Structures are given as structure tokens and as C-alpha cells.
Amino acid sequence: MSSQDIPEENLPAEQDTTVAVADEKNPFADPGLPPHEHRIQDIDERAARRSERTVALLFTVSMLATVAFIAAYVAIPHDKSVFVFPIGHLNALNFALGLTLGMALFCIGAGAVHWARTLMSDVEVADERHAIAAEPEVKAKVMADFKQGAKESALGRRKLIRNTMFGALALFPLSGVVLLRDLGPLPGTKLRHTLWSKGKLLVNMNTNEPLRPSDVAVGSLTFAKPEDLEEHDHDFQNEIAKAALMIVRLQPDDIKDKRELEWSHEGIVAYSKICTHVGCPISLYEQQTHHVLCPCHQSTFDLSDGARVIFGPAGHALPQLRIGVNDEGYLEALGDFEEPVGPAFWERG
């Protein structure tokens, strides 16, 4: 049903646009534009001249500010700092350039607005409006023209042309879509694998040394990476985005989750550092409770209980890396993560 079916009486009456003098009949009638009130500048030439001087002064200040801008650009070394009360220490060049540029611009604006407000005519004028929609005759002419044009094209009559044209127009954008294919490789199983594999040493992120169990103290949080991943490697960013590890040592008795205990070594557990919510690195560790908190969206995981989610928007526990100790006494991985690290995705399962 179209809104044409709304009965006319539901719509408010068309506004009376004729100007009426307030009378006994309608005290609410439109009294028409109020008479123009003169400003001081309209009647007192001295006030007008004062306005003129103010405007000219503003424009002059603007010119001076531009000169000052150039002077500051040339004169102030770019590493000098300056103390400005109450803001504090600022880069002197940035402060000077910004202030002079700002003054130069602001004074032009202030001058123009003051000019408009005090010296230009402030008489209000009424302009007529015209309906946006065309008059019926115009519409009739357009419709007739269109029909004529459509008839001459024979588009409606020659269906074969029409259908094949639509087909061609519908198909050709496919080329554009196909061309986007090489934007990137297919996901494959890339999100399921990290650099970790059996026998890879856990290397301390800060010292770049392989970790021994004795390096991990109770209550400390250690970040680790796989042994052969170096900052200069071309794929470092992509690999560390999946392989980043967080290592803590708990009292084995405190570990509530059976699998967690099995995959740990003397209470040392290794978990993915990448949050399972949207992939921020988790970095806040509470020693007493063994909770870790993602600083981005506050998902909280309990490291003593299989890193399950205890608060926040994350949907599942942090993946744990199974670790052990090799013959030389270094911590090593006993395989890759058993489930994908980082945020969940459709194919994760």
C-alpha cells in the first residue's frame, strides 16, 4: 500500500503563506518580516570607521604573522624545545610555526567575519522557493520524449538484442573480479601451523639465548620464540605473529588441568602469546592468581587451568605448546601447537 492512501485529513493543513495582520480572527497569524533594526555602524559613521580599522588591523596582524612564520622557519633549529606554560615542553619550531600560521589564518577569518557582521548590509531578504518536482506539462513532455526514444531504439520490440546486451553487461565485470585473485594466496592450512616443531629450542625473546628450566623463576613471565627465527628474517613479522610464546612457572600442584600438567615441564608451561579474541599479544600477568590479561580487550585467561577464559570477549582458551628438556638441558618444543593460534575463523572447527 502506498502512502497515497493516507486520508488527506490526517495531514496538517497547508501553511497559510499570506502575511496577515493580527486580527480578531487569528492571533497566531504570521505578522511578516519584522522591521530592520539598525546597527550602530549603520547610523554612526564613527562606529563604522572603528569597525573598518578593526578589520584592517586584523588583516595586518595576519600579514605580520606570515612574516613571523617565515622567520621562524628559517631561524629556529628543528630540535630545539621550549617550555610553554601550562602545556609543558614543546618542540619550539612546531610551536612557532603552528602559532604563526594559526594567527595568520585566524586573523583573515576574524577580519572577514567582523567586516560582514558590522559593515555589510544586514537587511534580511526573502526569496521565493519553487517546488522541486517538475510541472505536469514538463513531466508529460519528458515521458513523451522517453517513449519516442525507447520506440526508436526498438529495445522493447527486439528482445534478442535486449537479452544479449543484458547478458554481456552482466558478465563483463567478472573479469574484474577474476583479476583480484592474485591479491593474495589461498589460506590453505597456513593458519594451522607455526614455526614450532619437535626439538626446536625455546629462545628468550630479550636475551636471544636458549632457555633452561632454571632460567624460568616462579612468578616471572618470559616471552620466547623458536630458535631459528631472527629479527632480520624477511618473514619474521608473519612468523612471530603466530609463534610468539609466553612461559611461566607454576607449582605443579597448582595446575588444575590434567593435560596442562602433562604438557608442562617441572611446572613450566608454554602458551601462545596471541589472544584468541582478535589476535593482540597478551602481556599482563598476575603472579598470585596466574591470570593473564590481554591489554586490548581485557580477555582474561587462567594459566593454571588450561588457560581457559575467565572474563572478557575471547571465545576459547589459549593454545598450549607441549614442551620438554633436551639432552643438553634446554627447553624444547615437543611439536607444533595442536590447534590454530590466534583469533578463531570459519575453518578452525
Contacts to another protein from residues 199-258, by CB under 8 A: 205, 223, 225, 231-232, 234, 237-238, 240-242, 244
Q: How far apart are CA 82 and CA 70, in angstroms?
A: 19
Cis amide leading into 86 (omega within 30): yes
Taking CB under 8 A as the rule, does residue 196 contact another protein? no
Taking CB under 8 A as the rule, does residue 346 contact another protein? yes
Identity of the residue numbered 202: L
Residue 339 beta carbon to another protein: minimum distance, rounded to whole angstroms? 11
Write the DSSP assignment of 140-177 as a string of letters. HHHHHHHHHHHHHHTTTT-HHHHHHHHHHHHHTHHHHH
Out of 39, 98, 285, 335, the residue judged to bind another protein by CB under 8 A = 98
2-17: b or e for each residue (b if 16 or more CB lie within 10 Å)?
Answer: eeeeeeeeeeeeeeee
Residue 340 beta carbon to another protein: minimum distance, rounded to whole angstroms? 10
Angle, alpha carbons 334-337-339 (nearest 5°): 145
Binding mask 302-331 for another protein (x = CB under 8 A): -------x-xxxxxx---------------
Out of 41, 51, 95, 201, the residue judged to bind another protein by CB under 8 A = 95
If the CB atoms of residues 55 and 269 are measured against another protein, the closer one turns out to be 55
Binding mask 123-152 for another protein (x = CB under 8 A): xxxxxxx-xxx-------------------
Residue 154 beta carbon to another protein: minimum distance, rounded to whole angstroms? 33
Taking CB under 8 A as the rule, does residue 47 contact another protein? no
Out of 47, 48, 61, 101, the residue judged to bind another protein by CB under 8 A = 101
* CB contact set of 90 (below 8 Å; sequence gap of 6+): 81, 82, 83, 84
Taking CB under 8 A as the rule, does residue 173 contact another protein? no
Burial of 114 (0-12, 13-18, 19+ CB in 10 A): middle
* CB contact set of 92 (below 8 Å; sequence gap of 6+): 76, 77, 80, 81, 82
If the CB atoms of residues 126 and 174 are measured against another protein, the closer one turns out to be 126
End-to-end CA, the chain:
47
Identity of the residue numbered 325: V
Q: Which residues, 55 to 84, sit near another protein by CB under 8 A? A: 73, 78-79, 84
Taking CB under 8 A as the rule, does residue 121 contact another protein? yes
Pick the piece of the chain touching another protein (CB under 8 A) from 90-98, 151-159, 161-169, 263-271.
90-98
Out of 136, 156, 176, 185, the residue judged to bind another protein by CB under 8 A = 185
Grid coordinates 502506498 are at which residue?
Answer: 2
